[in-house]
Amino acid sequence: MTPDVASLLKYLSVPDFRYRDAHARPARRAHERPARAGLNIFALVSLVRGVGRTTLAANLTTTLGRRGLRAAAVDLDPRADLRAHFRERLDALTRSPMEVRPRLATAFHHGVKGDLSGGVDPAGGSIQAVQQGAGGAEIEWPERNVGFVPLVLDHASTVEAAWDCDAVVLDTAAGASDAVEQALAEADEVIIVARPNRENVNAVHATEALLARYRMRSWRRTRARYLINRFDGRRPADRVALAELRHLLGPRLVPTAIQDDTAVPEALVEGRCIEDFAPGSQVVSDLQAVARELAP
Ligand SMILES: Nc1ncnc2c1ncn2[C@@H]1O[C@H](COP(=O)(O)OP(=O)(O)O)[C@@H](O)[C@H]1O
Ligand SMILES: [Mg+2]
């Protein structure tokens, strides 16, 4: 059903009328599961490449985790770029192998069939159980409260691995795909990441159409908000694009725009999060404001 038809039906308010789109594929039933109280799943999506989905997935997860939530970033993009943002912390874990296993997840999820392995750590502590989803996804903990689930082929399993967290941030590929459809179906909140430029303003229409199409098939009705990344108020083009996006989206635009900062790619080169690489920067305070916005 197109948004036009939806609003027409709403306007007409025909009682008991159920519109059925004969061309719509049915929602995927296989991965359907109820929302779990206390778990908030955020899907970062965009039709436009290079807007910062992966960067924000990694860094928002870190910020949420450091605010005391049990947070995990989940890689659903075949490019598998997410790990690079946690590299320094993950490398530190592999350098001290005795510490690795106890830090691996206890990702219990009701109803998941998988290998539940456990045992005794050679260092003396007891190894926590590692829950693998059916597709082999496993959560790793770069630091306390900050989890990372690498890409595996079975997307549903990837999301399941982080099921016992408080906040899960899904990193997706640009454009429409089965993984994006799955992410939209899983998400409690969809965050469309956009850069303040013409290409992203022009993409709003197609993005809304995609959301309307996918969300109709989703079993959860998610909120969808837009988050601006790489804003620099000194650039006139950024200010114009921001004003246009505000006009188009109104309250669906997250009030905080994330600053464009060269520290962001520099942090990535070192495999570090921005909070550690550039503490006190504008971009870190923007991330914290967005984290408060998403998880008050
Ligand atoms: N706030 C920012 N300031 C500066 N550069 C950024 C910012 N956010 C992302 N980038 C850079 O933009 C590029 C694309 O980011 P990435 O997260 O890979 O985008 P996507 O996952 O949407 O394709 C990367 O080089 C990243 O370092
Ligand atoms: Mg990416």
Q: What are 52-76's pLDDT values in tens digits?
A: 999 999 999 999 999 999 999 999 9
Gap from CA of 258 to ligand 1 centroid (Å): 11
Higher-confidence position of 69 and 154 = 69
Residue nearest (by alpha carbon) to ligand 1 atom 14 = 50
Place 21 in a pLDDT band, splitting at 50, 70 and 90.
low
For residue 129, what pLDDT is reported? 35
pLDDT level of residue 22 (50, 70, 90 thresholds): low
Nearest CA to ligand 1 atom 6: 264
Question: Comparing 254 with 164, which gets the higher pLDDT?
Answer: 254
Burial 31-63 (b: 16+ CB within 10 A, else e): bebeeeeeebbbbbbbbbeebbbbbbbbbbbbb
Lowest mean pLDDT among 78-82, 109-113, 206-210, 264-268: 109-113
Question: Residue 135: is its pLDDT beyond 70?
Answer: no
Q: How far is CA 278 from CA 120, 127, 265, in A?
A: 39, 35, 11
Q: What percentage of the chain reaches a pLDDT higher than 70?
A: 72
CA angle 206, 58, 40 (to 5 degrees): 70
| Alpha carbons 192 and 205: distance in angstroms, whole number | 12
Which of 116-125, 183-192, 282-291 has the lowest average pLDDT?
Answer: 116-125
Give the tokens for residue 55: 């960067």
Cα 36 to ligand 1 centre (Å): 31
Whether the predicted pLDDT of 121 surpasses 80:
no
Looking at per-residue confidence, does 223 or 75 come out higher? 75
Q: Which atom of ligand 1 is nearest to the CA of 56?
A: 17
Which pLDDT score is estimated for 182?
84
Q: Rounded CA gap, 286 and 229, in Å?
A: 10
Average pLDDT, the chain: 81
Q: Mutation test of ligand 1: which of 264, 272, 277, 287 has the most ligand atoms closer than 8 Å to its C-beta? A: 264
Spacing, Cα 120 to ligand 2 middle (Å): 37
The residue whose CA has the least distance to atom 23 of ligand 1 is: 50
> What is the reported pLDDT for 26?
47
Q: What integer pLDDT is reported at residue 119 of this predicted model?
A: 34
pLDDT grade for 122, boundaries at 50, 70 and 90? very low
Would you state the pLDDT for residue 263?
A: 98
* H helical segments located in 140-235: 155-160, 178-186, 198-217
Model confidence band, residue 30 (pLDDT cutoffs 50, 70, 90): very low
pTM here? 0.80
